[in-house]
Structure 1
Amino acid sequence: MWSEPGAFEVAPGVHRIPLPLPNDGLRAVNVYAIEDGDGLVMVDSGWALDEAKDQLEAALGTLGKGFEDIRRFLVTHVHRDHFTMAVSLRRLFGTKVGLGLGEQPSLRHLMHVREDGNVADLRKWGASDLAELWIKVMHRSDRGAEALRDYEEPDEWLDRGVLGLEHRELEVVPTPGHTRGHVVFVDHTAKVLFSGDHVLPHITPSIGFEPLRPALPLGDYMSSLRLTRQLPDLRLLPAHGPVTDSSHARVDELLDFHEQRLEEIGRAVAGTAFETARKIGWTRRQRRFDDLDMFNQVLAVGETAAHLDVLVERGELTRTENAGVLEYSA
């Protein structure tokens, strides 16, 4: 029921607002409205869709507020379902938008419609046929127009530190992994963690799916999880899924999951990341790789590569390059 429309108070003066996503298995994205004096500060914004905009307006209306009352958007990362509504509403109302400093290279890459790094990565991972399908489906003639329409630079780049609002403070904590510039926000007084896609209650986020993939995205993600574990145990306010009471409990589960996945992938290693991905199960239902749709196949190959590279870093596998394709072995 977490995806049902409305505005739900999850801490004093903090309201969770689920917004719809188009044909997305995640069902919805949670944005959070923080009461701040006579205005609002939003954590994340949603996808710039008419349906989402209408739903956000209706939810704010139940709080006696409108778009003009939003003073600031604080965005956890650059993915479309978190960032683009903020850009759209800024054009209408001049609302300030903040985004993690680590997202600067990826955002500028998107805005200038440069070569899709996902294609080069797929070829490197031995998935050349999947790369060609990705090009066919994703590289439409209007791709450049979409990038220019949906993306703009923020008003402020957020780095580690404390943001002073009118009646509360939020600590900005960089948590690279899901994206290279992901940040979370901590309200120590209210004892809540606005976790974006870094810590989700029911699923583990995709790792390193971005146009400028870092060298070791899973290593970055697990380090960020350990950093989050060093924070106080907070109420978890995620971008997808219901609010839960213990950030520590979920972080421990995610770290355990990835250690188990590393062991599984280490046992299954079969040459390229693509070949290895086809040997293991996906989702809780352990679905076969060939039964996944194209988008999830791309995510699966990237996830497999991220785990293989950590195993190489740990000295458990070796990696060689043959005609531009990476091959892994025990």
Structure 2
Amino acid sequence: MTTDSAPRRDPGVSTAYAVSPDSGEHWTAEGAWRVADGIFRIPLPLPMDGLRAINVYVIETDDGLTLVDGGWAIPVARELLERCLKDVGYGFGDLRRFLVTHVHRDHFTMATVLGHELGIDVALGADEKPALDLLNNIEDLTRNPFVDVLVSAGAREVAAQWVRMDEHREAPDMSVWAYPDTWLEGDHEIPVGRRTLDAVHTPGHTPGHFVFAEREAGLLFAGDHVLPTITPSIGFTMPAAEQPLGDFMASLTKVRGLPDLTILPAHGPVAPSSHARVDELLEHHERRLADSLALMGAATVTAHDVAQGLGWTRHETPFGELDVFSQGMAAMETKAHLELLVARGQAAREETPEGVLFRAQEA
């Protein structure tokens, strides 16, 4: 329900080979890498094939440490975080606050576990509360909430396979989904020692996503909103958002209005220009919208139909060669693109028992 693994199609440099300038090594290399005065980047491992690590950022203050994101609450990540902090003279006792960019488990769960264990503040976007409400009332769910989204995308067989996968999945550990101490609402300033971070609400990847900009130092703690080598998944949220791609592109435009900042991403290497990367991401999705519209042609189609005609990952992998989880992600992401075409007046939609049907509108 809260993973960042998704099929991606992005012409940028491959994440698999990306070297980060702060370390001079592959961006996942173990260590506490100094990205700026008083700021370290610590890559922590993830238990998935699609994404190998998440960058947690450590900000020094006279009173202790503020961390941007926390990592996935697994023992190997916790042990590595503690070891890397020790290497630069700190320990868990020096932690004072977590600023979490969004609710996905690789960002939130270690933060909430350590935050509640150590009695320190954990801050998260207020629009992530509906997702946490679902997770904290999971016994009331009769089935995976993404099944309905997949059915609406016309991916009924994929939905059935997701249900079968759930039958073999262990119940989630609810201790990692405790509510935060502070809800972030609207754009506002956050003092972090002598620094001032602009907390900027950037819905799209998730409804409550935030980035944190330090204008004076020229830095953008970008979470999953602006990633240097991949595009974040869109449409994979619960409860489902009405226009996740529209929200994401509007948030990109919002960040484009900030000064040009060095990107400190959650996944991938430190990158030099938020403006350049935002422009690439917007162009990528405009191409994807055009491709989706062209594939609709004069037919009435589902998102699943269109997804099967698109290439996925940077290798343009055919839909049929994706694993079943990635096929579901692809269908949901394609539906987000078709819904934006409807909002732009380029397509029409009709809800049916077989899913939402789309058709192109005449220009």
Secondary structure of the residue aligned to 1:225 is helix
Corresponding residue for residue 197 of structure 2? 170
Output the amino acid matched with 1:154: P
The reply to whether residue 39 of structure 1 matches residue 64 of structure 2 is: yes
Corresponding residue for residue 67 of structure 1? 92
Corresponding residue for residue 249 of structure 1? 276
Match of 1:22 among 33, 36, 47: 47
Give the drift of 1:118.
0.9
Give the drift of 1:324.
5.2
Match of 1:297 among 319, 323, 327: 327
Q: How does 1:119-268 map to 2 (within 5 A)?
A: 119-138=147-166, 140=168, 142-143=170-171, 146-159=172-185, 160-268=187-295
Distance in 2, Cα, partners of 1:104 & 1:139: 27
Q: 8 Å contact 1:87–1:151 — kept in the other structure?
A: yes
Q: 8 Å contact 1:111–1:147 — kept in the other structure?
A: no
Output the amino acid matched with 2:137: H
Distance in 2, Cα, partners of 1:136 & 1:68: 43
Output the amino acid matched with 2:28: S
Instruction: Provide Cα deviations, 1:265-298, integer angstroms capped at 9, x if missing partner.
Output: 1111261111111111111111011111122111
Output the amino acid matched with 2:210: V
Structure 1 portions without partners, runs of 5+: none
Distance in 1, Cα, partners of 2:188 & 2:115: 24
Distance in 1, Cα, partners of 2:68 & 2:352: 45
Distance in 1, Cα, partners of 2:270 & 2:93: 27
Q: 8 Å contact 2:63–2:193 — kept in the other structure?
A: no
Match of 2:104 among 41, 60, 79: 79
Q: 8 Å contact 1:98–1:156 — kept in the other structure?
A: yes
Output the amino acid matched with 1:295: F
Instruction: Provide Cα deviations, 1:158-215, integer angstroms capped at 9, x if missing partner.
Output: 1221111222111110000000110000111211000000000001100121121110
Q: 8 Å contact 2:97–2:115 — kept in the other structure?
A: no
Runs of 4+ in 1 over 4 A off after TM superposition: none
Q: 8 Å contact 2:196–2:214 — kept in the other structure?
A: yes
Match of 2:124 among 57, 79, 99: 99
Structure 2 portions without partners, runs of 5+: 1-25
If the length of structure 1 is used for normalisation, what is the TM-score?
A: 0.96
Q: 8 Å contact 1:175–1:224 — kept in the other structure?
A: yes
Q: 8 Å contact 2:204–2:234 — kept in the other structure?
A: yes
Distance in 2, Cα, partners of 1:37 & 1:329: 59
108-117 or 129-138: bigger deviation: 108-117
Instruction: Provide Cα deviations, 1:63-89, integer angstroms capped at 9, x if missing partner.
Output: 100011110000000000000001221
Equivalenced residues, count: 328
Q: 8 Å contact 2:65–2:95 — kept in the other structure?
A: yes
Q: 8 Å contact 2:101–2:211 — kept in the other structure?
A: yes
Give the drift of 1:147.
4.6
If the length of structure 2 is used for normalisation, what is the TM-score?
A: 0.88
Distance in 1, Cα, partners of 2:166 & 2:222: 29
